[in-house]
Amino acid sequence: MPALRPEALAEHLSRPLSPLYVVHGDEPLLVLEAADAIRAAARAQGVTEREVLVTHQYFRWDEFGLASGALSLFGDRSLVDLRIPNGKPGKQGGEALTRFARELDPQGDSLTLITLPLLDWATRKTAWFTALSEAGFVIECNAPELARLPDWIAQRLARQQQHAPREALEFIAGHVEGNLLAAHQEIQKLGLLHEPGELSLAQVEDAVLHVARYDTEKLRAALLEGDAPRCARLLEGLKGEGAAPPLVLWAMSNEIRTLANVRGAMDGGQSVDAALKTERVFGPHQGPCKRAAQRLKAGGLRAALLHAARIDRIIKGLERGDVWDEFLQLSLRLRLR
């Protein structure tokens, strides 16, 4: 089948789904968003069950064969979510994928989603990738060139009904230095701090370089270390400075979500270093995040994310509660060593 451009994916997913999608690229954020869109479309079209398989050194490829072959035995439609973090299935995996693609029923009810990192030219010429490309849709999600990054930011702002002048867009692009995940976080922050509509350059500069950002960075570091007393002091300081609760929640929930993703990948057999790379955790931040992911359990991190969602409802006035006390309680969930 012909390759499917990322910008055409939304319109494509409004129609009946193909039985196979392969998503790869050099930008994990865009790969994740494309895969999320496919999963959401599958749920909307009646796919009620999903089995996630993450390949690793000791992965047994017969699990993939059994998962993809067993779906027709049940009445409910299901999705096999196969993730190949290193992009190299090996000889056994390549044979399994080739066999799967050649035996795939284009009219069948089963769906398969395969996600990979960016593939080099040699991998794209392999028999298994060629077979997958012929049997399903391939979506390549790469980061936009730096010159196009302001336009990409403008499109993202438009999704939350916000607009900004060109100089503000270029300011954000220059601040994030090509890191799409950082750009995504700054855009989310603007959505939390400002109502829909036109943003000024001053508002963008203030949000991106807000003085409270430095305290929230310290708060994120304290969260990773499980340092509850320091979290309490920082939260008290942020409250006294009049920091916006949505900004504090954004800082805390982003850290917890990253840890949950890393811990989930580790539990699926992936190494902690590979999981951190997938989540774009680099530099000085990598060591504390690694220690926290090894210390904490998936169940506790899921509970923390649910707690963060409750705080969001409190901030929006949908539930009653003391938001700053809830922030403290949320930080205590990550104190265990």
Q: What is the pLDDT of residues 194-237, one digit of tens each?
A: 999 999 999 998 887 654 444 678 888 889 988 888 888 889 88
Given a cut of 70, is residue 70 above it in pLDDT?
A: no
Which among 233, 260, 256 has a CA at the least distance from the CA of 324? 233
Note the pLDDT of residue 43: 92
Task: Write out the DSSP string of 48-115.
Answer: EEEEEEE--TT--HHHHHHHHHHGGGSSSEEEEEEE-TTS--HHHHHHHHHHHHHH--TT-S-EEEEE
Going from the N-terminus, what domains does the chain have, and what CATH number goes with each?
A: 6-140 (3.40.50.300), 146-208 (1.10.8.60), 212-332 (1.20.272.10)
| pLDDT bucket at 188, cuts 50 / 70 / 90 | confident
Cβ atoms 259, 293 nearer than 8 A: yes
| pLDDT bucket at 337, cuts 50 / 70 / 90 | very low
Q: Is the dihedral of CA 251, 253, 254, 256 positive or negative?
A: positive
Report the alpha-carbon distance of residue 193 to residue 207 in Å, rounded. Answer: 8
What value does the CA radius of gyration of the chain take, rounded to a whole number of Å? 22
Given a cut of 50, is residue 100 above it in pLDDT?
A: yes
